[in-house]
Amino acid sequence: PLILISTILGIISGVIISLITIPVIAQRVGYIETCGMAVAASMDVCIATIEHNTNKTTAILAFIVGAFYTIFIPIAMPIIVAM
């Protein structure tokens, strides 16, 4: 149960940090970099923040990046762990 709780808290804190830093990254660094901030959460939770602080093209790219991470990680992790 402790590992589960720490995992959930890690995910939630990562999303909160992404929601806070996406506007700063969009203004000071660039639009494309905001797609990598939220990783898989850029597909759902952070998409509104990304679209509000960037443009529609970047929001579409963020959705694609989030979908890629959502599909790729469950496939890649067992392969990496098995090595």
Instruction: Provide the pLDDT for residue 50.
Output: 93
State the maximum Cα–Cα separation within the chain, in Å, rounded to a whole number: 42
DSSP secondary structure of 6-26: HHHHHHHHHHHHHHHHHHHHH
pLDDT digits (tens, 9 = 90+) for 19-35: 999 999 999 999 999 98
pTM, to two decimals: 0.81
Residue 1 pLDDT more than 90?
no
Q: How far apart are CA 31 and CA 54, in angstroms?
A: 6
pLDDT for the residue 78: 93
pLDDT tens-digit readout, 33-78 = 998 888 888 888 999 999 999 999 999 999 999 999 999 999 999 9
Q: Which amino acid is at 7?
A: T
